[in-house]
Chains A and B, each alone.
Chain A
Amino acid sequence: MNSGAFLRRAGIGVLTLWAAVTVAFFALRLAAGDPTDNLLAQGLASPEQAQALRESLGLDQPLVIQYAGYLQGLARGDLGRSLFTQRLVSRTIADQAGPTLALAGAGLMVAAALGSLLGIAAGWAGRSLFGRAASGLSGLATAVPVAVTGVFLLWAATWLASLRPELLPLSRGGNLLLPALALGIASSGALARVLQSGLEENLHAPFMLAARARGVGHGFRLAWHALRPALPLAISFLALETALLLGGTVVTEMVFARPGLGRLLVTSILTGDFPVVQGLVLLAATVYTLTHIAADTLSARVDPRLRSTT
């Protein structure tokens, strides 16, 4: 990617972020109504306190003024305060980011390992029983919702712990292994499919026959001639998968009762704490924009053919 194309991507990225923030701001305020009503209804505030809160949050001002104020705050890195805890949204998010990042990172590793394994096995072994089993497993991994896989893993760990008490820590909330497995399994199927179809395509390409005619060994042919051209797509897929993983963390954190951004998002939605929801929407949009740019850059590095066109 040359610098002009990069600047254009970055420009589009900033526009995307602005659009996400704007849509979230107006949609949340117009449809969800006055958040202090919620506080009143739950008996968490008296009418006077609610009015004071409205004033301190600027909710009594016209929407356009609030929007301008919000954008000004954003420019200073100020995301506002939570309606319920009064803590800074940026602080609240930062506190919960660690566990989610750890989970997403570990999940990504599981997805990459399992996805490559299944994809290469399916592409390699083709129509044999082994290949079909790998292909079926990757289909299974994509189709079954994370919630089901997660609860199943949790049950399996509980059952193992009842047989071997020393394995008990496995099923506890703090352990990263099971959540990472649940998240990684769900994301591995798509990667496997991309690798599989890339491999299948290349295995039947004329250059494979040419390499064989030149006396290139079997393993080298598979790894260098068939696998390498399939990698760029797989890599950009994995980068995009990072964004999807962050969506999957929402469910995983709820299954395994882990703290994190996903749990924060769900509880904020349930309580109507919209400054926090809005901060998380902005964060998600930022992550997507960055991963898309990263995916393009990475692919161009692995595949020289992509450099001139993007």
Chain B
Amino acid sequence: MKVHFSPAAAAVWLVAVVAASAAAPWLALHSPVQPVAQPLTRPLTFPPLGTDNLGRDEWSRMLHGGRVSLAASLSAAAVAALLGTTAALVAQGLGGAADATVTGGANAALAIPGLLTSLAVVAILGPGIESVVLAVGLGLTPGFARLARQALAQVRSEPYIAAAGALGAGGMDTARRHMLPNALPRLLSLATTHYAWAFAGITTLSFLGLSGSASRPEWGTMLNAARPYLRESAWLAFFPGAAIAATVLSVHTLGAWLARRVTPGAS
């Protein structure tokens, strides 16, 4: 992903979003699920961002919704990073058949788009935010495993790997104690990029109505709920839509910036 936007602006937006979501219970003016004013009140009056079709405070819903979207995509990205890194470690540590299995399996799984893999997982587990998290995480795992394996393979040619082998360290041991720490910066930049995909995936599956309750605020769910009111109350779609787009772009920008910093020779 090559998105040339300012990493500083991206960081500012992300810090603001994370801080606002973390402080949601204190920043929110009302309950995110109780009606507080006339339905479809315009923004910049009271409450500050207006109300949705049921008269619920949009500002509070955005804050609480961001909490769900951010935390769920963090969990999904963590699932992909943990499973993917483990598979890559096994592939690089044991080599041979294990490597062929991981590489072949990842390539086969990558033939099917992540969204359909995720939909299949939701079909099996049933709708709900937990299954959506697992579905997005599993959908991203093959791609992460393949890239993590590459990242580990790149430090393989370093002299200290040969030295560890000469000192009698086993393959798995070398992979875990020498390759993993040295590939960590690259794995971190990979995890950042995958967080952006996870965020897009979580909000998309929620948009499709697969994350369970429609009354619990979540940015994707809110974007979908705003569709019938585009003509008169476009702000209902604008807030969650813009927040999703800005967050995904910011994480991608930071991921690209990190990748430039940790890849030797690229500037």
Residue of B nearest to A267 (CB): B209
Q: Bound complex: CA of A272 vs CA of B126, how far in Å?
A: 8
Q: Which of B1, B203, B238 contacts A142 (CB 8 A)?
A: B1
Determine whether A136 belongs to the interface, using a CB cutoff of 8 Å to chain B: yes
Residues in B whose Cβ lies below 8 Å from that of A31: 124-125
Closest-CB distance, A116 to chain B (whole angstroms)? 17
Note all chain B residues with C-beta closer than 8 A to A244.
113
B123, A247: Cβ atoms closer than 8 Å? no
Complex contact B231–A146 (CB within 8 A) = no
Select one of A254, A265, A292 contacting B111, CB under 8 A.
Answer: A292
With a cutoff of 8 Å between Cβ atoms, the chain B residues found around residue A270 in the complex are 127, 209-210
| A139→B10 CA distance, assembly (Å) | 15
Chain A positions within 8 Å of B113 at CB level: 243-244, 246-247
Pair A143/B196 contact, Cβ less than 8 Å? yes
> Do the beta carbons of A151 and B123 come within 8 Å of each other?
no
Which residues of chain A (221-273) have a CB below 8 Å from chain B?
243-244, 246-248, 250-251, 254-255, 257, 265-266, 268-270, 272
Say whether B124 contacts A265, CB under 8 Å: no
Does B189 interact with chain A (Cβ within 8 Å)? no
Assess whether A162 is interfacial by the CB under 8 Å rule: yes
A82-90, A98-106, A152-160 - interface stretch: A152-160
B14 at the interface (CB under 8 A from A): no
* Minimal beta-carbon separation of A161 from chain B (angstroms): 8
Contact B241–A265 (Cβ < 8 Å):
no
Q: How far is the CB of A269 from chain B (nearest CB, A)?
A: 4
Q: When chains A and B are docked, how far (Å) is the Cα of A179 from the Cα of B231?
A: 18
Chain A: interface residue total (CB-CB under 8 A): 49
Residues of B in contact, count (CB < 8 Å): 44
**Which residues 117-131 in B have Cβ within 8 Å of A in the complex?**
119-120, 122-127
- Of B207, B224, B241, B252, the residue contacting A143 (CB under 8 A) is B252
User: Contact mask B174-212 → A, CB, 8 Å, 1/0?
Assistant: 000000000000000000000010001001100111100
Whether the Cβ atoms of A151 and B223 lie closer than 8 Å is yes
| Count of A-B contacts judged by CB separation below 8 Å | 128
Main secondary structure of the interface of B (DSSP, over half): helix
Asked whether A143 lies within 8 Å of B1 as measured between CB atoms, the reply is yes
Whole-angstrom distance between the Cβ of B43 and the nearest chain A Cβ: 15
Most buried by A among B124, B203, B231, B244: B124
- The answer to whether A294 has its CB under 8 Å from any CB of chain B is no
Q: Are A148 and B115 in contact (CB under 8 A)?
A: no
Query: Is B169 among interface residues, defined by CB-CB distance under 8 A?
Result: no
Give min CB distance, B50 to chain A, whole Å.
16
Indicate which residue in A139, A155, A250, A269 contacts B3 across the interface (CB closer than 8 Å). A139
What is the CA–CA distance of A110 and B142 in the complex, to the nearest angstrom?
29
Interface, chain A (partner B; CB < 8 A): 16, 24, 27-28, 31-32, 132, 135-136, 139-140, 142-148, 151-152, 154-155, 158-159, 162, 193, 243-244, 246-248, 250-251, 254-255, 257, 265-266, 268-270, 272, 274, 277, 281, 284-285, 288, 292
**10 A-B contact pairs sorted by A residue (CB < 8 Å):** A136-B3, A140-B249, A143-B3, A144-B248, A243-B112, A246-B113, A247-B116, A254-B207, A269-B210, A272-B126
Closest CB pairs A-B (n = 8): A139-B3, A247-B113, A247-B115, A147-B207, A269-B123, A145-B200, A31-B124, A148-B241
Given contacts A139-B252, A140-B3, A284-B112, 6 further A-B contacts (CB under 8 A): A132-B4, A145-B244, A154-B227, A155-B234, A243-B111, A284-B116
